[in-house]
Amino acid sequence: MIILFYIAAAIAVISTVCVILQSNIVHALIYLITSLLSVAVIFYVLGAPFAAMLEAIVYAGAIMVLFLFVIMMLNLGQHTRDQEKSWLTSKVWIAPSIMSGILLVQLVNVLSELDHDVELTRVGVLEVSALLFGPYVLAVELASILLLAGLVSAYHLAKK
Amino acid sequence: MQSIPIEHGLILAGILFSLGLIGVLTRRNVVFVLMSLEIMLNASGLAFIVAASRWGHAEGQIMFLMILTLAAAEVAVGLGLIIQMYRRFNTVDINVLSKMKG
């Protein structure tokens, strides 16, 4: 189980690097799906099977299909790929990489002072749903209102 | 009982977050910017799950559910905006939006 965590973590990092380096948008989307599925494996290893399932269904399924639908609708084909290649010169990577690198170094510095172990105990659907429809039921209702607002505004924005 | 150090999980979340940040800062195609935002939201969800499984609680998974809902709503609105932008300017270059008139 532990080796599975590190393999999935390596796949997640590598495929995310491929997403931000890729100039073909559909290939980037496929790499993003790979990254999300390996994060789902990490969730499963960490003992959160419900979150893993939702990650695979909602993130890698529904949200990525939305992206694919918009890419097909806008017909982002060959000319976008050439445009991307002309935009992505090596010069534009320098400043963002340095800034994010500094941020990452600070994060690693702070986090490496923690030394707790994550015990891989399983917290299943039962415990999550008992909390979700007990103390957190207001959050569920608010989430449903948020989704409804998103639906209405997406419809309004995409209308001609 | 098998266990992994908590900092490995949190550092993984940090690496994914910084990669998403590089994507947001570098890309000019607005669809790629939205994809990088998804990477960042997903990394914060991963941090919640890692921290929750440290104590064996279910609250972190509930926070992950909220992040998932937020990401779904954000993507729907963002993609609607991208479609509208493509109709008006006929491009996905995010720099055309800086030429907006007030």
What are the tens digits of pLDDT across the range B58-89?
Answer: 888 999 999 999 999 999 999 999 998 888 88
Residues of A in contact with B47 (CB under 8 A): none
For B40-62, write each residue's pLDDT tens digit.
Answer: 999 999 999 998 888 888 888 99
Other CB atoms within 10 A of residue A94 CB: 10
Q: Is residue A75 assigned to a domain?
A: yes
Q: Is residue A104 assigned to a domain?
A: no
For A52-67, write each residue's pLDDT tens digit.
Answer: 999 999 988 899 999 9
The domain containing residue A150 runs over which residues? 125-160
Tokens of A82: 């050439």
A80 with A157, same domain: the answer is no
Domains identified in chain A, total number: 2
Q: Is residue A160 assigned to a domain?
A: yes
Other CB atoms within 10 A of residue A93 CB: 15
pLDDT along chain A (160 residues), means of 10: 90 94 88 94 91 91 90 80 79 88 91 78 86 90 94 88
- Looking at the DSSP bridge assignments, the partners of residue B93 are B29
Tokens of A21: 């380096």
Whole-angstrom Cα distance, residue A111 to residue B52? Answer: 16
Whole-angstrom Cα distance, residue B87 to residue B91? Answer: 8
A81 with A135, same domain: the answer is no
Q: Is residue A92 assigned to a domain?
A: no
Q: Is residue A55 assigned to a domain?
A: yes
Q: How far apart are the two ends of chain A, measured CA to CA in Å?
A: 51
A59 with A1, same domain: the answer is yes
The pLDDT, as a whole number, for residue A85 is 79
Whole-angstrom Cα distance, residue B63 to residue B58? Answer: 9
Give the best residue of B62, B87, B93 to mutate against chain A (max A CB count within 10 A).
Answer: B62
Q: Is residue A2 assigned to a domain?
A: yes
Report the topology of domain B6-90. Helix Hairpins (1.10.287)
Q: Is residue A138 assigned to a domain?
A: yes
Cβ-Cβ contacts under 8 Å between A and B: the total is 242
A78 with A146, same domain: the answer is no
Q: Is residue A108 assigned to a domain?
A: no
Whole-angstrom Cα distance, residue A140 to residue A48? Answer: 19
